[in-house]
Each structure stands twice: as C-alpha cells, then as structure tokens.
Structure 1
C-alpha cells in the first residue's frame, strides 16, 4: 500500500457511521432510528476512547441530529459501525479534536487503522452483549439483522 501524502493541517482519525436502527426499551423490543444526538447513517469521527482497553465508550465529533452543527458527545461503541481510518481536513473537526489533546504525534495513519480494526471487532460484540438472551423484535431492522452475514 502506498502512503498518501497528508497536508500539515490534517490528522488521521477513525471515522464511523451511526447505526440506522438500534434496539431500545424493555427487552430491546422497540427500534429507534440513529441515536438521540445523531441521525442513523451519520458520519462521525472518534476523538478519544474510554473504558480502559475495552473501548466501550467513545468521544465522537459529528453533525448533530437537530441543528446540523458539529457536536462532540460521548457514546457507546455498539451504536457505530463501518470503522475506518480517514485523513481529516475539516477545521471544525480539527479544532474539536485538538480540545481533547489529539494531535499529529499519535493521530497517525497506522494508529488510526489499528484502532479502526479493533473497534470494528468490538462493536458487534458489544451489541450482542448488551441484549444477550433477549429475542429481536419481529420484524427487526437493527444493525445486525440488516447487515449481510
């Protein structure tokens, strides 16, 4: 793989999409589109992770559901999918990432690719663990049921 040159005013971050539908309520029998803060399918950038090595919680930067303006919120990893490393050039995202101490010293392509691969493995497991032993609603449109096997 050839290295893509990246301008000095950019960072490599992990991008992901918000699940289109998520299970909700007693026994996970309700479905809600997206999350309270983001529309389903919205692209978000991961600024930091929490939960130790488990990475169960993430700080995300993306356009809010109601205003369309950039917001920064903590959210569960299980509500995201399609993790990938991307070079970010948006001044708004870069400013918000800098507020969390994200800079070019660790926001490298290699680190972003490793973190994206890890989060891509963990997110389905967290979705499964969160609703363990609870049947899916019928019909179900949650991310796992809509995703090709």
Structure 2
C-alpha cells in the first residue's frame, strides 16, 4: 500500500529569513537583494548546520526565487537572520526534509539552542564581511538596516 498520501507529522526545525540586502564584491562595495536562490525576506527552514569549520554553512529548505518550487540548498549562514525554532506543518517542506542529512528535524529544546547559536554565527560572519571597508552612505545591507554594525 502506498503511504505517500498520508500526512507527515509536524517536525521542529529552525526558521530564518533571508537578508533583504547583502554586501558582496570587492571590499563589499556592491549590494545585492537576497541571494541567488532566495528573495530577500523569504522564510527558509534550516534542516542542518555544518558545524565543522565554524558553522558558516547551513542546509535550508525554502521556495526558490524564480520558480517558487521548494528546494534544498546549502547557503551561507551570514545571508540569514531572525533564527527561531518553528514547528513545521507544511507538507512540501516536510517532503524536502527527507532529502537532507537530518530528516527527523530537531527536538524542540535542541531547535531553540541551534537557533540561538546560528544567530550568533550569522552576526559574526556578517561583521567579518568586507572587514575594514566603509559602508556607503545610506547603506542598505542587513547590518546597517538593523543597527548591527554599530
């Protein structure tokens, strides 16, 4: 019997939003909206973090910028903000979760710990982007818009 029609139980993941603007290019002189794969402000779900060399990459599930299809992709932690634990019910996101290294999600307490840790990592990595390079007047990068750079 085919079980694909059965609804999957909700799973705890870490939700985050893609930064509206990010600095890139030589010395962080360029601003780009969102990322290549996600619009700025898009909600994504962190399926697993790569804690190896400093937590600078995470595997996320979200709706693609151009096609609106649900995708699984590794992205830089610094391109995300507002990490928070979230009980996910969305069937398509849960389907894609099965393609990751963490198909069971997190325990509720663990999701809270991971979200706090990822927020610290993201702030640190954003601060290190184009270190020593001045921000242009009326800079729209996430750090300037939220006051992180102060």
When normalised by structure 1's length, the TM-score is: 0.88
Partner of 1:52: 52
Partner of 1:42: 42
Partner of 1:134: 133
Partner of 2:33: 33
CA RMSD, 1 decimal? 1.8
Partner of 1:122: 121
Tell me if 1:65 matches 2:44: no
Secondary structure of the residue that 1:122 maps to in structure 2?
helix
Give aligned pairs, total: 142
Partner of 2:3: none
Q: Which runs of 4+ in 1 moved over 4 A?
A: none
For residues 89-125 of structure 1, the C-alpha deviation after alignment (integer angstroms, 9 at most, x for no partner) is: 1111112112224244x61110100000001111010
In structure 2, C-alpha distance between the alignment counterparts of 1:91 and 1:126, rounded to whole Å: 32
CA drift at 1:130: 2.4
Q: Quick check: 1:83–1:116 contact (8 Å CA) kept in 2?
A: yes
In structure 1, C-alpha distance between the alignment counterparts of 2:94 and 2:120, rounded to whole Å: 26
When normalised by structure 2's length, the TM-score is: 0.88
Change (3 A) 1:33 1:108: same
Q: Quick check: 2:8–2:94 contact (8 Å CA) kept in 1?
A: no
CA drift at 1:19: 0.2
